Amino acid sequence: MTHTASSSASKSGTLEPNSLGVTFGLLGDEWTLLLLRVALSGATRYSDFRDRMPISHAVLSGRLERLVDEGLLERHIYQARPARSEYLLTPKGSSIWQLLLAIWTWERRWVTSHSYATPPIRHLTCGKEMSPIYCCHSCGEEACPENVSLSWGPAGGWARSTPGAQTRRRATRGGRTESSAFYPDTMTVFGNRWSAVIVAAAFAGVRRFRDFEAFLGPPPIVLSERLAALCDREILEQVQLTDRPDWSEYRLTRKGSDLFPVLAVVVDWSERWRSPADDAVLKRTHKTCGDEFRGVFVCDHCRATVRGHEVDLSGA
């Protein structure tokens, strides 16, 4: 991975987020993730969502509309008088189950106090509670950051992979993101336009404050806050090198390293649904088999590849 900013710019002279930046922006919202989870467990009507989520009318309507605009839900009128619509998952919306599975697996492993249930995940095919393993779709080996090589495609670069400021949905107070009620740790990573790319850069080997600043381009005060928030959640740790007292680094903890499948699935999903008109963002190669990398989840009990209809994400 080369740490250079992309030179592509829109006509206005500012960098347009690429498909990955747009995806980070879309997912950086706990209501969107929760709403998709409820939709995957069968909710279609407005009242289904309202009854299953502690959400205001304005917020629910706004999120449903956004997911229709982004092509994850389709509005379907099932009754003419009075007019009643339902919201059906499109194939693009349904395929988000892999990301929810990755987030759920990570939250279950690392986050002990939850205000929202993350019960065991059952593989319906073998009936066992599973800890799904993220593997190369081609050779089946468990995927790890060391075995997936990355290089930017024509639409790549850190700046373009960062969501635009207008996609930031969360209210902030005093410059800090409000803490999230449902998936606070996941939202520390996704609920802010900079955090997900900071974690992605850490996976790509960026360690020093000045390098995060140079490659990603956030204002230093924002970068300090996001690094502090990621250290608070024990996703990164600040390490003072003993032989270089003036030198400190930010490194992924074990909890942070275990986010690899979550971020990789975001890339999988974003690449799968990228418009053919948009250039590729990342080229990923699985070093073990040499094939282009894409991940699949495998059940740790029966070793079968897990498919969307074989996993219960309702949380019931």
CB of 123 to Zn ion, least distance (A): 4
Residue 23's closest CA among 237, 264, 309?
264
DSSP 8-state code for residue 113: -
As measured in angstroms, the least distance from the Cβ of 136 to Zn ion is 3
Residue holding tokens 């879309």? Answer: 26
- Residue 80, exposed/middle/buried by CB under 10 A (0-12, 13-18, 19+)? exposed
The interface region with Zn ion, picked from 61-69, 101-109, 133-141, 157-165 by CB under 5 A, is 133-141
**Smallest separation, CB 2 to Zn ion (Å):** 23
Q: By CB under 5 A, tell whether 289 contacts Zn ion.
A: yes
- Considering only residues 111-130, where is the footprint of Zn ion by CB under 5 A? 123, 126
The residue from 20, 67, 73, 299 that contacts Zn ion (CB under 5 A) is 299
- Candidates 4-12, 37-45, 134-142, 219-227 — which segment interacts with Zn ion by CB under 5 A? 134-142
**Nearest distance from residue 140's CB to Zn ion, in Å?**
7
CA angle 110, 167, 86 (to 5 degrees): 85
- Nearer CB in complex with Zn ion: 69/142: 142
Nearer to Zn ion, 63 or 286 (CB): 286
For the CB of residue 144, give the shortest distance to Zn ion in the complex, in Å. 11
Of 123 and 274, the one with the shorter C-beta distance to Zn ion is 123
Cβ-based nearer residue to Zn ion, 170 or 301: 301
Cα 234 from Cα 109, distance rounded (Å): 13
Residue spans of beta strands (DSSP E) within 29-161: 73-79, 84-89, 133-136, 148-152
Shortest separation between residue 305's beta carbon and Zn ion, angstroms: 10
Contact 88, 97 (CB under 8 A): no
**From CA 159, how far away is CA 217, in angstroms rounded?**
7
Closer residue to Zn ion in complex, CB, 71/127? 127
Question: Residue 34 Cβ, how far from Zn ion at the closest point, in Å?
Answer: 26
Q: Give the residue from 125, 109, 235, 225 showing the smallest Cα distance to 176.
A: 225
Three-class DSSP category at 173: strand
CA-based nearest residue to 230, from 270, 264, 186: 186
| φ, ψ dihedrals at 253, nearest 5° | -80, 180
Q: Tell me whether residue 249 or residue 300 sits nearer to Zn ion (CB atom).
A: 300
101 counts as binding Zn ion under rule CB under 5 A: no
CB of 271 to Zn ion, least distance (A): 16
**Exactly one of 286, 296, 297, 298 binds Zn ion (CB under 5 A); which one?**
286
63 binds Zn ion (CB under 5 A): no
Positions 193 through 222 that interact with Zn ion (CB under 5 A): none
- Cα 46–chain centre separation: 25
As to burial, measured by CB atoms within 10 angstroms (0-12 exposed, 13-18 middle, 19+ buried), residue 267 is buried
- Touching Zn ion, residues 136-165 (CB under 5 A): 136, 138-139
3-state secondary structure of 176: strand
Interacting residues toward Zn ion by CB under 5 A: 123, 126, 136, 138-139, 286, 288-289, 299, 301-302
